[in-house]
Structures are given as C-alpha cells and as structure tokens.
Amino acid sequence: MTFWTKIAGFILRNRYLVLITIAVITGLLVTQIKYMRFSYTEANLLPANHEVNIEYNKFLEIFGEEGNLIILGVKDTTIFTPQKFNHWNSLVKSFDSLPEIDFSVSIADVKQLKADRKTRKFIVEPLFKELPKTNEEVLKIKEQLFDKLPFYENLLYNDKGTLQTAIYLNKDIVNTPTRANFINQILIPKIKAFEKDNGMDIRVSGMPYIRTLNSQNITNEMGIFVVGALLITAIIFFFFFRSFRATFITLLVVCIGVVWALGFIGWFRYEITVLSALIPPLIIVIGVPNAVFLINKYQQEIKKHGNQAKSLQRVISKIGNATLMTNITTASGFATFVFVKSQLLREFGILASVNIISIFILALLIIPILYSFMPLPEKKHLNHLEKKWMGNVVSWMERMVKKQRISIYITTVVVIILSMIGLFQIRVSGSLIEDMPKGMQFYKDIKFFETEFGGIMPLEILIDTKREKGVMKLSTLKKMEKLNETIESFPELSKPISVTNLVKYSKQAYYKGNPKYYQLPTSQEKAHIFAYTKNSDSNAGMLNNFVDSTGRYARITTFMKDIGTDKMDIIQDRLQAVIKKQFPEERFNVSLTGKALVFLKGTNYLIKNLVISLSLAILLISIFMAWMFRSYKMIFISLIPNMLPLLITAGLMGFFDIPIKPSTILVFSIAFGISVDDTIHFLAKYRQELLANNWKIKPAVYSALQETGVSMFYTSIVLFFGFLVFTVSSFGGTIALGGLVSVTLLLAMVSNLLLLPSLLLSFEKKIANKKVLKETKFKILPPKEDK
C-alpha cells in the first residue's frame, strides 16, 4: 500500500474529524482578522541597512518627518475679492487650533521682514493687520505679495496667480490611523463645505493626503477583486462542468481559503499594502485549478467504473501527489521572495506561499469528503468529458504534435527573435504616483500642483559642514546658491527652498524692502546684515526649518514631478557633479535623500532582486525535474516551455511600453510559478504512461496529452480570466500585472500542450529509457490501475 493510498484511507475514514478540525482552524483564523492593519507609510523597497535608507534616517533625525505637509491650492481670479479672500484665509486659520496640526502657512500668515535702524535689528510685520473690506485693499495686498515679496514665490503663490497654502501635520500622527481620521472626518468635509459656499474649486495634495486616499482605494479594490474573482471563476467553472454541485463545492473551498488568507495576514500582524491586498483573490484564482483537477479526475473515475469509494480513493492517491507537487512549485516561486531583503516583498512571499499550501490542503480534504456524502454524479454532469468541441481541441493538439513539429519549432524561433527585440526596449520606471488611479480626483490634483508649482514629492539635499555654525559662512551660502541655481534649471523640479532664501530676504529687508536686492550679501554687506540678524529673534523659527540648532547641518528642499528612474538618474548625476565641484569631500558631506528618491532607488534594487528570486525559482524547478527523471536533458526540455512565455511577456512589455516597476516586476515570478504546474501535470502523466506502455515514448506522449489536455485547458482558462479580474483595478500597475500574467499563462498552456510534447518526441531516444526510470525512486503518480 503506497503512502498516498494510506492518506486517502485516513481522510475518508475520518471524515467528521477532518471537517471539525478545518472548522476549528477557520474559527481561530477568523479571530485574527481583527488584527489586520492598513499601511500608513509608503512602501520602502530597500532593506533597513541600505545606504539610501541610512542617509534618509539621518536626515529624519536632524530635521524630523518630511512627509507631513498637506497643500491646498486655488486657481481662481475671483479669490481676490474681499469676501472670498477673507473666507479663504479663515478656512486655513480654522485648522490651526486643531491638535492634529502643528502650524499652517498662508497669505494670512505672511510677514514682512523690515530693518529697524534704531535698534539695529530685523522686525516682522504682518502683510495686513485688518481684514480687507474693499477690492482696492485686496488688490493692494496682492500687488505687495506678488511684486515685492519674492521670498514667498512658489511657496504661497506663483506668477500665474495661483495661491497655495501649507498645512503641517503633527509629526507624531503622520504614520498612524489618526492621520486618516483627520483627513476623512475634518479636512475633506471642511473643504467641500467651503467649495459649496464659495463656488470655488480647491485642490488638495501632499504625501499624507495622497497616502490616505490611496490606502482607501486599495482597501476598496481588495473587496472588488475577491468578489470579481469568485464570480468569474464560478461562471467559467460552471460553463465547463455544468454542475451546481461541483461549482458550490469549489466556491466553498476557495471562500474558506480567503478567510484563512485574511486570518494569516492578521496573525502575522502584517499591513495591508498594494501587494498583500492581492493575496485573497490570488488564492481564489490558484485554488480553483486544484478543484478542476480533483473533480475532473473524480468524474473520469465514476464514468469508468461507477464505484464511488474507489473513485474518491483514486482522486486522493493519484491526483493528490501531483497536485501537491504543483502547489509546492507555485509556492516555491513565491517563497523565493523571502530571500529578498525588501520587507514588502518578503511579507508578500511568506503570505502567498503559506496560503497556496493551505488552499491545496483544503481542496484535497474538503472535495473528496463532501462528494462522499453526496450521491453519484448524474450522466448530465459527466457529459462535459465527451464534449465534441473539447475533443476537437485535443485532437488538433495531437495532430499538430504528430505532423507539424517543424512548424512549431519555426514559430518558436520566430517568436523568440521578436521577443528578444522587444526585451531590449523595456524601460525601468520607479515613481511614487505612476500606478495611482488616473481617474481619481487626488491624482488630478497631483498633476495640478506639478503644473503650477513643480511637484509634490519631496527631494531633500542634506549638507553637513562638519563644524558648528558652518552653514552661515558666506562661502557655504554661495555654494548652496550655486546648487539652487542648478535645481532651478530642471523643469522636473520645483524652485528650491533653503536658508539662502532667508538670507536673501534679509538683504532685501536691509535695503528697505527693495526686491532688486533679493540676493546673497557681499563680503562687505555680510557683517552689517548678520549683525541685524543676531540682534533679532524674529526669523529664528523660519531658520530652524532649514538649519539645525548647532548650525552644522542645512537642508535644501525641492519637489519632484512624476518622473521615472531614467530621468531621475540624469538629474542626480548633474546634481552630484555640481556637489562634487562646489562641496569638497574633505570639508563637506552632501547627500541626496527624501521619500521620492528612496522609492526610486528601491525600484532599481528590486529589479536586481527579481533576477535572484526568479533564478532561485528556476533552480528549484530544475532540482525537482532532476529528482523526477534523473536526466539533465529532461530539465532542459521541461524548462523551455516555461521560459518561452516569460520571454514573450518581456517582449510584449517592450513593444507596448509597459515599464519594469515594483508592480509589474512580480509578473515573471508569479507566472513562472504557476505555469510550471502544467508541465508537472503533463510530465507526471507522461511518466506514468511510459511505465504502462513499456517505455514506448510516442503512445505515452499521446496518452498524456489526451488525459491531461482537458484539465490543463480548463485550468488555464480559469487562470486567464481569474487574473484578468485585476484589470478592473484603477491602479496602473495592478492592471498591467493582471493583463500580463493572464497572457503569460495562456501562452504557457499553448507551450506546454504543443512545444513540450514535440520536444519529448524529438528527443525520445535521449531522454527516457528503462534504466533511467528504474533508477528513479520517486513516484509522483502510482502505476495505472485496472478498472
């Protein structure tokens, strides 16, 4: 009695115990769902000890959280009327008293820096002391702001007349649920009420705001994906099997699998991210093919001999082992992410691999047990096994393999050449907002701020002068100004903000507010102007935002547009060239940092790790094939049909300009892990037929094609439409992921049903013989049994 025969006996003899155990485990995992948390931070794709992360954390230690800025913008000429102007300012001031807000900066807060000759110090005066009551008063304020205060240009206004207001969140709540509560319950309702009362369109952006709305979108789509995957797989399953009973059992299995998936997320205390949100629908899509193979085998056995007990025992013993191997290979494909140092991918890999094994166990236990309680399938439920169109498809495949092998090989070579051409056209893209829903208002607002103010994603330059008060040396300020001028030369970056802006404003104030003196002081002027600064504490608060308390560190802040890694590399190279020239390494340490840069660098890091994880997956499959067939040629033959679809997909990405990015990078590992399943099912059946046909390859190949062809076709169609569900997403990356995996799996099916049998027949004398099979101790399928 084989191991799997014993397993089948145990499952069927202890049906109630098995079902109770599943119910208890499901109940326990349901209690863990409450611990699911939604991510309140950006995805950090780099390991904690990576140089880029170290530099970013150093910046945060000195200047604190940089992603706490929410921006309000308005482009409306009617705002410069007394009523709307005052309402706008009162809206902003209403946020200042809230505990979630540190402070805000708006036109109402504008202070003019003036030089007091008597006390030899700078004083600040508000731009206006009383609320303007007439159009003339408002226009006077506008003229003063736009024409005489260049310090505030691109901070509170631009030359097109667009106003901008900065609201700084309390840094302690930026990465907590409180942030989401504030944005949803206070900020958005206040803005909507203002828009309704004043007939104005307010634009809102900033990383806390974007992250909150993006997280909500991910949560909403998670539910859509689960329902969509269930619905479409159920429809396709019923279309093939024409059995409500089979469809119900399959849906029950995958629904329990989804509950387990959510329970594991809570149990492991992982956050819901754009990747982990894919796990529940992924389990549905991967779980249904397990049911297809098991139910199809059950119905085939019933049709052969009509003995239910024998049929169920053979379902477990024959298909159980092969299905276990296919699920292990799929799980292994995902598990390779565990070796990647990115926490985001590691968590995704752990969750996916654990849940894939779980859905296999559930299918193997629940399907035979439930069928054991039910009457035998009726004849109409078995009709699909004799469908004429399905038989025609299998016959066509058999004819192609028999008579058109040369055509298959020529087509394969042509496809490889075309795919290689496309492969070299693939570009890499890493952008924080590229995958965000283009139709959502918050994405349109991002584009508004990019057009009006140059972007919303912070890019920081940290300057370490290596000595206290080194920042305020005139030579250092001049070096910083050179760097500022370089930043301004890039249309992809906004006007920079740094201590030099404040020093230039001080000189302007020294010369009675004349805008033409908005520039750095000369060596002669420096002593006089800095003497005023020392006597004054009026600009100390502003100075603290750009220089640390010791005067050793300074920051230059700019904001980036939505650009990819290729453009960012060019910008970074040019900035580094200026930094190297202006800031000698023996006297300064200068580093580029900020959330946007961390994300971009993470994308490049991810691509390197993709190669590692995919190579590991290929190695694992190779070891399995070597174990199964004891032949390196068999490894080669089994990998070709699975590598070809990946190559075609890469070619399509190049031709259709779908970039490699954190979302699409998963396509290859997911598709490879799943497509290998077909290869294993085919080769397992082929090996069994070899034994039954006295090692004659041709009849073994044709028999394997006839028996596994139907199941492979069914499962591939289910997988194709299952992954196609992801294309309803509003996230560009998820759409690309769903579409590309669907196409790749369809190509893998064709490759495994045409190219793989062709290769087996062409190399028949070199890949299998009696000696090899006798030496093979591993039995993936038991020998064929009599009816």
Q: Which residues pair with 592 in a beta bridge?
A: 461
Beta bridge partners of 555: 462
Does residue 442 belong to any structural domain of this protein? Answer: no
Q: In Å, how far are 91, 93, 106, 170 from 97, measured between CA atoms?
A: 12, 8, 15, 12
CATH number for position 688: 1.20.1640.10
Asked if pLDDT for residue 193 goes beyond 90, the answer is: yes
β-strand partners of 558 = 459
Q: What is the pLDDT of residues 522-570, one digit of tens each?
A: 988 888 888 877 765 544 455 667 898 898 999 999 988 877 677 788 8
Q: Is the Cβ–Cβ distance between 704 and 690 less than 8 Å?
A: no
CA–chain centroid gap for 431, Å, is 11
Q: Which residue matches tokens 């004349």?
A: 514
Supply 738's token pair.
């769903």
Pair (380, 251) in one structural domain: yes
What residue spans of 156-206 are helical by DSSP H? Answer: 177-182, 188-198
Same domain (yes/no): 636, 768: yes
- pLDDT tens for 605-619 read 777 777 777 787 778
Residue 367: pLDDT band (50, 70, 90) is: very high
Q: Looking at the structure, tell me whether residues 365 and 233 fall in a common domain.
A: yes
Cβ proximity of 536 and 405 under 8 Å = no
Nearest Cα to Cα of residue 301 among 291, 311, 316, 290: 311
Confidence of residue 297 (pLDDT cuts 50, 70, 90): confident
Reported as a single tens digit per residue, the pLDDT across 33-82 is 988 877 666 667 787 788 888 999 899 888 876 678 899 999 988 888 99
Per-residue pLDDT, 430 = 65
Kindly state whether residue 647 falls inside one of the protein's structural domains: yes
Report whether 102 contacts 169 (CB < 8 A).
yes
The residue from 324, 356, 386 where one domain ends is 386
DSSP state, 547? B
Confidence of residue 775 (pLDDT cuts 50, 70, 90): very low
783 and 634 inside one domain: yes
Phi, psi (deg, nearest 5) at residue 131: -65, 130
- Mean pLDDT for the stretch of residues 106-122: 83
In angstroms, the CA 542 to CA 401 distance is: 76
Q: Are residues 377 and 395 both part of a single domain? A: no
Residue 79 lies in a domain: no
* pLDDT score at 781: 47
| pLDDT, tens digit (0-9, with 9 covering 90-100), for 490-527 | 888 888 989 999 899 889 988 988 999 999 999 888 88
DSSP code of residue 129: S
Tens of pLDDT, residue by residue over 139-156, are: 998 888 888 888 888 888
* 412 within some domain: yes
Which of residues 539 and 587 earns the better pLDDT score? 587
Residue 599 pLDDT greater than 90, yes or no = no
Q: Domain span at residue 681? A: 387-424+630-787
Asked if the structure places residue 738 within a domain, the reply is yes
Q: Is residue 305 part of a domain?
A: yes
pTM: 0.76
Residue 294 shares a structural domain with residue 392 = no
pLDDT of residue 536: 58
Strands 111-116 and 101-105: unpaired
Which residues are registered as beta bridge partners of 113? Answer: 124
State whether 225 and 245 are in the same domain: yes
Residue 279 sits in the same domain as residue 401 = no
- Is 341 buried (19+), middle (13-18) or exposed (0-12) by CB count in 10 A? middle
Q: How far apart are CA 646 and CA 419, in angstroms?
A: 9
Question: How many other CB atoms are there within 10 angstroms of residue 502's CB atom?
Answer: 18
Confirm whether 154 is domain-assigned. Answer: no
Is residue 674 domain-shared with residue 755, that is, in the same domain?
A: yes
328 and 394 housed in the same domain? no
Listed range (258-267, 268-277, 375-384) with the worst mean pLDDT = 375-384
Tens of pLDDT, residue by residue over 336-354, are 788 777 777 788 889 999 9
Number of domain units in the chain: 2
Share of the chain above pLDDT 70, in %: 92
What's the mean pLDDT in 408-434?
86
Query: CA–CA separation, 33 vs 427, rounded Å?
Result: 39
Tell whether 782 and 642 lie within a shared domain.
yes
Alpha-carbon distances of 441 from 437, 438, 727, 767, rounded to whole Å: 9, 8, 20, 60
Strands (E), 286-437: none
Residues 251, 415: Cα–Cα separation, whole Å: 38
- Residue 289 and residue 238 share a domain: yes
